[in-house]
Structure 1
């Protein structure tokens, strides 16, 4: 699995473009940005992070490294997230409403958000679709 972390919509677009020719699936995780201590401003993101990481590790083991899968983490700062006109909210292919949100790139109906990202069964089910 190719894992990439980005901090802006421009970086996200470039990351998607860089993996689109070699990956069958591109997962996008929208989460709150981290401070100098490594903690996100988003308490839901802090709670979901270890569950998501555990599920990703299990997915990689079960799928022999998942070579044709990309996982792009998009860290959004609090001010940008609060802006109702930000790129992630207004882009018709993303329509982000909250963080954390995990979605399959290009599939609006293939997503989990907030409390659902603390349920490993739901995350596993989504990742294996």
Structure 2
């Protein structure tokens, strides 16, 4: 049902996104900070959201691609020229952010911890 893809950094994300078939199933990207040696992100909001998002996605009964995108370490993310911030397709302002690819829906920051908002991303699907 849910196909998980791990993408590390902007270049890997861009290659993957550019190669997506336009007729493909729904693609959701989850943008988060790099994981530290202890397995959690340096971003406290990402640490809070990740278990909620992962649990939701593991229970989802839809045919979607879920891309977990590592945006980099804190200095990389905080740079205003970070490509995740400047890419016109993304224009990320905060992490975590969940984006429905080629759609208008997105959840940012604490919105990513709300199961009802996660469910709304999948309404009106085939």
The match for 2:47 is: 46
Deviations 1:84-129 (A, max 9, x none): 111111111100000000001122x310011111111111111334
Match of 1:111 among 101, 106, 114: 106
Q: TM-score, normalised by structure 1?
A: 0.86
The reply on whether 1:78 has 2:74 as its aligned counterpart is: yes
Where in structure 2 are there 5+ consecutive unaligned residues? none
Q: TM-score, normalised by structure 2?
A: 0.87
Q: Which deviates the most, 109-118 or 94-103?
A: 109-118
Aligned length: 122
State the shift of 1:23 in Å.
2.5
What is the root-mean-square deviation in Å for CA atoms of aligned residues?
A: 1.6
Residue pair 1:100, 1:117 contacting (<8 A) in 2 also: yes
Deviations 1:5-45 (A, max 9, x none): 11111101222244436722111111011011101000000
Using the alignment, how far apart are the partners of 1:42 and 1:25 within structure 2?
Answer: 27
The match for 1:97 is: 93
